[in-house]
Structure 1
Amino acid sequence: MFLTVSLCVLAFVLYFVLVAKAPKSGDPPSPGWYPLVGSLPFLREPLEEFLSEKQFAKQPVVVLYMGLEKLYCLNTYEAIKDAFISQGDKFLGRQQTFILPELTGEKAGIILSEDEQWRLYRRLSLKTLRDFGFGRQGAEEIILGEVEELRSGIEDQGIQAGLPLDTVPLLSTAVSNVICQMVFGTRLASEDPEFGRVLEMFQRITQSQNNRTRSMVFQLHQNYYVKLKPLLRLVIALRRKQINIFGELIKFCRKQLEKHKADLGSPEHPRDYIEAFLHQQASNPSEFNDVRLSLAVLDLFIAGTDTTSQTLRWAILFLIENPEVEKRLVDEIKRVVGSDRQVTMKDKSQLHYTQAVIDEVNRMACLAQLGVAHRCTETARVCGYEIPKDALVLFNIFNVHNSVDHFPQPECFRPERHLDQEGRYSPDEHLVTFGIGKRACLGESLARMELFLFLTNLVQRFTFRLDPEETRTIAEIKANPGHQGGGIRAPAVHKIKFDSRREEE
């Protein structure tokens, strides 16, 4: 009897590994497959660059057999548009994680939420943030205030002291305080030790999981961990540091909630994002509980802090590397704005080359190379290939942004590609920095405003050069990004020497 049962179990396991999980006729192309390990022996890091090599670059869909699970990658703009625009309702799902339920009992905030919870929180988040100037004048005033704080910091810490500056804390503080004022109703002082600790934790979250392949294998097999309790306990132990960081950040958000509850203003005129949601909580306490609100706040910070500040770091490097671009950018700002006042959003429509430079920075920096994974909520057919229900789907932004069909000589920094024949700004639909479709980035309008106002005002006031003691070239700094994979792609650690542009002139 025991032998019979054992043979049946063995037969099932062999079937599961060798047949059920094996490639099927009609599957999209893949790098290769072996039992148990799937495509893993064939993959190389960075994964987005591997999927952009000659054999895959023009394949609309590629499937990776990540151990026992499949991972689909939309590899061309046409495939991304077919899935997220033409069939957008089939790709609204997100992969769930065991970490949040382990910590909070809730599955997700905004980024990882699904179905009605996602629709409700996204709709209310957009409405609330618009009311506070998300993409309008209120946000502009906040950003310009932080621009002035940043200018003062650069002059005091850098120029007057004659020192090169690490732009990570400098830019992260400025960008974080924009979202702080919109969400918490106040800015946090850079010298505040709690603020410094929170910023560091946010950066550690976005900088974690440096190996994309290892990260995706881990995420794809979460269902096995949850079903096998001893394995789940082992995984939790191995991920304890990351779980603890999330726990500390959630505590910080809960602390801000309690402060607001103690001094709650009028529901007709909420002072910030948290207060607006607390008033919603009064009418629907089960849907707008403290945990979900804390997770929503956490999502806004994770999505809105490191991404913008790292894009600005890339922009400074590209300008140092391309002095002719910097000169043309400075000349346009000087001609349209002058040097006696801040650049504002009213100037944007006349700054065509400036907008083209920002688009080219977004194209080449390509922070979220493979996007945020979508879950297929029902079986779909994309560019002729079937993607089954519950499959996880990435989209290769890196390949789209480096496509020779859409961007000739993609390795060259050429803002002119975003201008028409008359020299007017002409946005390219193939630039998908913020994603496309219904699950595109919630904060795109704010991020675009921040990039424009921070970059133009920095360029107007300062010149940039690498730390004179830096031994690496810019190409080497760019070729060895500081973190990528589970987080975003950022330049390697370096320092910038700022000088007053007015003194240089």
Structure 2
Amino acid sequence: MDLSNPETTLLVACLSVLLIVWFLKNKQPQKGRLPPGPPALPLLGNIFQMDMKAPHKSLIKLSEQYGPLYTVWFGRFPAVVLCGFETMKEGLIERGYDFSGRYLLPAFKKVSNGYGVAFSNGERWKQLRRFSLSTLRNFGMGKRSIEERIQEEATLLVTAIRNKKEMPFNLDTPVRCAVSNIICSIVLGERFEYEDETFLTLMENIAVISNGLSSPSVQLYNNFPKIMDFLPGPHKRMFKNTADLKHFLNKKIQSHKETFQKEFPRDYIDSFLINMEEEKHNPDSEFVDENLLMSVLNLFMAGTETSSTTLRWAIQILVKYPQIQEKIYEEICEVIGSSRRPAIADRVKMPYTDAVIHEVQRVIDIAPMSIPHMTMSDIEFRGYLIPQGTFVIPLLSSVLKATSQWETPDSFNPNHFLDENGNFKKSDSFVAFSAGKRMCLGESLARMELFLFLTTLLQSFVFNSVIDHKDIDISPATSGILVQPRMYKFWAISR
């Protein structure tokens, strides 16, 4: 833990004042027979062994001493860490149901209270996931209709970038707006202009929330929520921005309630409202207002942030390695040309581009610790007894960066996904979308977005950096639940 950071130092100092009182009030007996791990301090757990700027790296380092299955303590609560390909495969796939719960870190609990498709458990989660998958497919996910929407939005993004008139600019906002419009069209039934002030405010809120999830303040909140509720910090702004997003989405839901027609559902919200109407006399129905709001928020956030962040990072990496950018363009010229829009059918004919996109996802490692899992019952696993409700960390980074799985795990190398003949090759160790029952439900949409947006941009522009391309740092600016790229300005030179 880096105590040279003034924010962290202040927070730890304030925490120390209240530790003894809280410890006396909140003693909790240990249950089960957990895997061994590093010695933990009372109440503080292993916080001083965690690098708040990159906790996943601390966990990987601990695995070198304690093995692929071990326990760390976050405050008073244990977390079982699954590290490495074999452990992850056994836990998330072979024992998928056992580890399929969603552990509600205090920050997530405060925001969701266990509602919504991303943060629910049990029968609620099963119903919401089944409904969400079928509804997303009904509105085009993985189909030609959504492909056309992405193509149209990619063309609008190209126009927005051309309007920069080859002046240096930050990719963050236009790319986030473009990607968000895809999920907005599915969930809300509309898209927004990039200059729309309300839309821009929403994008800023999402950026603050994403950055907040990786801040030391929020990580401390997840360890000591009762104390942090009384202290200032970025966690306060994150919760406020989440409340603002909820307010916006609630207004959209209310508008849908006033105008929807059961026979003609326009989007995800309408489809949910139809189920609410059909089950209004069922006291056990999960189709209630709380699940509607949180599911829409989950889809809106995830559908905006992960793909847009990956695209921003992809451009940054391709600017750092211009020879790779040029090689993709050569493949675009050979397969697509300059007179038509890229299509999903082109991907199978473009193995190098496909390999680069996969390698971008592998290298950036966007959710290095996954979203927290939880055991669904008391389970025996590799000789240990892990109690029901235990926090489980599937350390995706330990697979995506494993020396046993990749030739050059710490370097950007598209050859990881190419065979000796230059054909694309899959890898079981590619877990960028996680694995098992909690795998990202928007995976097929994200894959389409990444390919179509990136190829359309590179068909239209050469991207160059304001600084020397060799000086671009592609390590994360922040790392926590999500990782964020560093900010650079680029030139987009029309081809």
2-side partners of 1:58 and 1:74: how far apart?
11
2-side partners of 1:384 and 1:101: how far apart?
31
| Counterpart code for 2:60 | S
1-side partners of 2:347 and 2:139: how far apart?
21
| Counterpart code for 2:303 | G
Q: Indicate if the aligned counterparts of 2:401 and 2:410 stay in contact, CA closer than 8 A.
A: yes
- State which of 40, 62, 77 in structure 1 corresponds to 2:70: 62
- State which of 193, 200, 205 in structure 2 corresponds to 1:196: 200
- State which of 242, 248, 252 in structure 2 corresponds to 1:252: 248
Shift of 1:144: 0.6
2-side partners of 1:326 and 1:472: how far apart?
12
2-side partners of 1:99 and 1:410: how far apart?
32
The aligned counterpart of 2:456 is 457
Tell whether 2:228 aligns with 1:218.
Answer: no
2-side partners of 1:413 and 1:67: how far apart?
36
Shift of 1:464: 0.9
The aligned counterpart of 1:302 is 301
The aligned counterpart of 2:485 is 491
Aligned residues: 470
Structure 1 residues 481-501: Cα deviation after superposition (integer angstroms, max 9, x where no partner): 333314x21211111111012
Shift of 1:87: 1.1
Q: Indicate if the aligned counterparts of 2:114 and 2:121 stay in contact, CA closer than 8 A.
A: no
2-side partners of 1:238 and 1:489: how far apart?
16
Tell whether 2:443 aligns with 1:444.
Answer: yes
Q: Secondary structure at the match of 2:255?
A: helix
Structure 1 residues 146-203: Cα deviation after superposition (integer angstroms, max 9, x where no partner): 101000011112xx2x311110001000001011111111111122111111111111
Which stretch shows the higher mean deviation, 315-324 or 37-46?
37-46
1:438 to 1:471, Cα distance in 2 relative to 1, 3 A: same
Q: Secondary structure at the match of 1:394?
A: strand
1-side partners of 2:95 and 2:329: how far apart?
43
1:197 to 1:57, Cα distance in 2 relative to 1, 3 A: farther
1-side partners of 2:298 and 2:410: how far apart?
33
Tell whether 2:181 aligns with 1:177.
Answer: yes
Shift of 1:379: 2.4
- State which of 94, 107, 121 in structure 2 corresponds to 1:114: 121
Q: Secondary structure at the match of 1:125?
A: helix
The aligned counterpart of 2:79 is 71
Tell whether 2:265 aligns with 1:265.
Answer: no
Q: Indicate if the aligned counterparts of 1:420 and 1:426 stay in contact, CA closer than 8 A.
A: yes
Which TM-score applies when normalising by structure 1?
0.86
Shift of 1:94: 1.5
Structure 1 alignment gaps of length 5 or more: 1-9, 226-230
The aligned counterpart of 1:163 is 167
Identity %: 31
Shift of 1:396: 1.4
Structure 1 residues 123-155: Cα deviation after superposition (integer angstroms, max 9, x where no partner): 111111101111111110110111010000111
Tell whether 2:214 aligns with 1:205.
Answer: no
1:335 to 1:385, Cα distance in 2 relative to 1, 3 A: farther
Shift of 1:377: 1.5
1:125 to 1:235, Cα distance in 2 relative to 1, 3 A: farther
Listed as ranges, the matches of 1:233-248 within 5 Å are 234=230, 240-248=236-244
1-side partners of 2:456 and 2:26: how far apart?
62
The aligned counterpart of 1:280 is 275
Q: Indicate if the aligned counterparts of 2:155 and 2:456 stay in contact, CA closer than 8 A.
A: no
Task: State which structure, 1 or 2, has the greater radius of gyration over its C-alpha atoms.
Answer: 1
Q: Secondary structure at the match of 1:429?
A: coil
Q: Indicate if the aligned counterparts of 1:308 and 1:451 stay in contact, CA closer than 8 A.
A: yes
1:242 to 1:54, Cα distance in 2 relative to 1, 3 A: closer
2-side partners of 1:236 and 1:220: how far apart?
15
Structure 1 residues 87-108: Cα deviation after superposition (integer angstroms, max 9, x where no partner): 111112222366777678x532
Which stretch shows the higher mean deviation, 294-303 or 375-384?
375-384
The aligned counterpart of 2:140 is 133
The aligned counterpart of 2:336 is 337
Listed as ranges, the matches of 1:315-464 within 5 Å are 315-464=314-463
Structure 2 alignment gaps of length 5 or more: 1-20
- State which of 71, 89, 96 in structure 2 corresponds to 1:81: 89
Shift of 1:209: 3.7
Tell whether 2:98 aligns with 1:90.
Answer: yes
Q: Secondary structure at the match of 2:463?
A: strand
Structure 1 residues 349-394: Cα deviation after superposition (integer angstroms, max 9, x where no partner): 1111111111100000111111100111112344444432211011
1:217 to 1:61, Cα distance in 2 relative to 1, 3 A: farther
2-side partners of 1:345 and 1:128: how far apart?
21
| Counterpart code for 2:61 | E
